[in-house]
């Protein structure tokens, strides 16, 4: 599950430059990505690219890009908070965990 997060940026602790795009083929767990349409870190194009790469090796991928939502759309203490996107994202998050992690 990813809330925001730039898949094109190399991981800082990696011994070599590795991005989310590079490791997408290795992610087999169900994946839910929640992103804002006006976010620039990651851009909607990067979020969709990550989804496309994940779907090549994983059947359980859902990428949601919220119209009008920016970076930090879920953070209710920030000016970028988007109540509509946040409510839907929370609903999807709980449903995702209920479906895939329920014991």
69-90 per-position pLDDT tens digit: 999 999 999 999 999 999 999 9
Return the CATH number at 36: 3.40.50.1820
- Domain of 11 in residue numbering reads as 2-101
Per-residue pLDDT, 27: 93
Per-residue pLDDT, 93: 96
Calpha distance 68→91 (Å, rounded): 18
21-33 per-position pLDDT tens digit: 888 999 999 999 9
To the nearest whole number, what is the mean pLDDT of the chain?
91
**How many domains are there within the chain?**
1
């Amino acid at each position: 599950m990813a809330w925001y997060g730039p898949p094109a940026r190399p991981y800082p602790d990696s011994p070599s430059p590795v991005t989310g795009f590079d490791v997408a083929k290795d992610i087999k767990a169900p994946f839910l990505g929640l992103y804002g349409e006006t976010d620039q870190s990651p851009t909607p194009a990067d979020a969709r690219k990550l989804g496309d790469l994940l779907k090549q090796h994983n059947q359980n991928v859902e990428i949601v890009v919220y119209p009008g939502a920016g970076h930090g759309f879920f953070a209710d203490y920030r000016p970028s908070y988007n109540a509509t996107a946040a409510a839907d994202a929370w609903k999807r998050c709980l449903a995702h965990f209920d479906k895939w992690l329920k014991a």
